[in-house]
Amino acid sequence: MTWIFLAAGLVAAGLVVLLVAGTRVARAARTLNSEIAQVHALFNAKSDVRG
């Protein structure tokens, strides 16, 4: 019976690790998306100036 509780605890700990990693990846993706949008807007502004 102890092994079942140990296994369940390890599974829960693994899921927590995956959740934390997934959250970090999602945050990094949002940051990258906003940076790309800023650069895209900058390039659009420069192309408007050149005509």
pLDDT tens digits, one per residue of 13-38: 999 999 999 999 999 999 999 999 99
Helix (H) or strand (E) holding 10: helix 2-50
19-39 b/e (C-beta count within 10 Å ≥ 16 → b): eeeeeeeeeeeeeeeeeeeee
CA distance 51 to 41: 15
Cα distances (angstroms) measured from residue 18 to each of 6, 8, 26: 18, 15, 12
Please tell me the predicted confidence (pLDDT) of residue 45.
84
Please tell me the predicted confidence (pLDDT) of residue 48.
73
Sorted by where each begins, the domain ranges of the chain are 17-51
pTM of this structure: 0.70
